[in-house]
């Protein structure tokens, strides 16, 4: 097999298992450490070999069980990148939003050091301003762009642009976990925990965080507005990739998957659980689809917020 001139990987925030890695020729993610509620430290089980997602998120549903994640040690990151430097392969690294984690900074420091030590070696570290499934989506897009014959520099430029176009639409039953990690205000978390209320969010390019842009009562109304929201924010759906992700809401994710397939019939439609690292911060209760629109997400999600309000009134 012809050796790749550059490789594509994510930090520990990338949620993809071995089947996705193999299909899209992605590198294995550096593994983070998860501190479990009993205080034990375990390496993230990225392929769910030791525990299945249902059991993991069932433990997390008890809010007294606090799971904590940490990025790999700087030395581990450096060693991993140096493997490619020694092979003469440049590296693109897609990291979780720098507003959520220190992965972007850690990979950037290691990359600069190795570029100085290995003349001609290049590391492009891209702050996705997104998390988990959105990072997976961007990694798949990067792989397809590389497969089409584009070089390292063109692929980096492409990713820097489309990262700002990535949408999510779905529900998260409980915002408690995001509030505990400081990724949403406690006031918003309280509103999101009202009985039967399902907060819906999209990505905010200005803050690098998910932004709650509307709420609905129950899943059925959400299912009704989902295809229209995606249609109006995706632009042309031709040849687009969709990633449907979930944490302890597999039946709801399967319904989203079905809706997307029936409406758009995409060639690249992925159904995947949140990884352990992402899940430790998001918690159980997520079911959402991630995709790339033709246009950037609007400033502070104002257009998306107005669109969702309009759809909620109509349905």
User: Tell me: the pLDDT tens digits for 266-309?
Assistant: 999 999 999 999 998 888 989 999 999 999 999 999 999 999 99
CATH for 165-314 (3.30.70.260, 3.30.1130.10, 3.40.30.10, 3.30.1180.10): 3.30.1180.10
pLDDT score recorded for residue 257: 98
How far apart, in Å, do the first and last CA atoms of the chain sit? Answer: 53
CATH classification of 6-163 is 3.40.50.920, yes or no? no
pLDDT at 193 over 60: no
Domain ranges of the chain: 6-163, 165-314
DSSP annotation string for 80-148: HHHHHHHHT-EEEEEE--TTT-SHHHHHHHHHHHHHHHSTT--EEEEE-SS-HHHHHHHHHHHHHHHHT
Q: Evaluate whether 172 touches 192 at the Cβ level (below 8 Å).
A: yes
pLDDT score recorded for residue 179: 60
pLDDT at 185 over 90: no
pLDDT score recorded for residue 218: 85
């Amino acid at each position: 097999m012809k050796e790749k001139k550059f490789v594509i990987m994510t930090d520990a925030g990338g949620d993809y298992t071995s089947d996705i890695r193999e299909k899209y020729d992605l590198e294995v993610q550096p593994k983070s450490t998860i501190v479990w509620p009993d205080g034990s430290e375990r390496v993230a089980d990225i392929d769910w070999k030791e525990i299945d997602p249902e059991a993991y998120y069932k433990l997390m549903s008890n809010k007294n069980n606090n799971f904590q994640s940490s990025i790999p040690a700087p030395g581990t990151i450096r060693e991993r990148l140096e493997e490619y430097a020694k092979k003469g392969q440049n590296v693109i690294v897609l990291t979780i939003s720098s507003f959520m984690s220190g992965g972007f900074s850690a990979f950037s420091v290691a990359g600069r050091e190795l570029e100085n030590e290995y003349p001609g070696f290049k590391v492009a570290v891209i702050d996705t301003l997104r998390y988990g499934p959105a990072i997976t989506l961007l990694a798949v897009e990067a792989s397809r762009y590389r497969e089409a014959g584009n070089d390292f520099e063109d692929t980096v430029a492409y990713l820097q642009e489309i990262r700002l176009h990535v949408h999510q639409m779905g529900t998260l039953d409980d915002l408690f976990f995001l509030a505990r990690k400081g990724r949403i205000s406690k006031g918003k978390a309280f509103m999101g925990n009202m009985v039967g209320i399902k907060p819906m969010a999209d990505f905010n390019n200005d803050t690098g965080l998910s932004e709650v842009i509307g709420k609905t009562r129950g899943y059925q109304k959400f299912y009704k507005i989902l295809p229209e929201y995606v249609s109006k924010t995706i632009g042309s759906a031709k040849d687009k990739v969709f990633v449907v992700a979930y944490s302890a809401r597999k039946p709801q994710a399967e319904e989203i998957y079905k809706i997307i397939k029936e409406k758009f019939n995409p060639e690249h439609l992925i159904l995947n659980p949140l990884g352990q690292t992402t899940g430790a911060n998001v918690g159980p209760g997520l079911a959402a689809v991630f995709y790339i629109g033709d246009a950037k997400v609007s400033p502070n999600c104002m257009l998306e917020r107005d669109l969702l309000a309009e759809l909620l009134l109509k349905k």
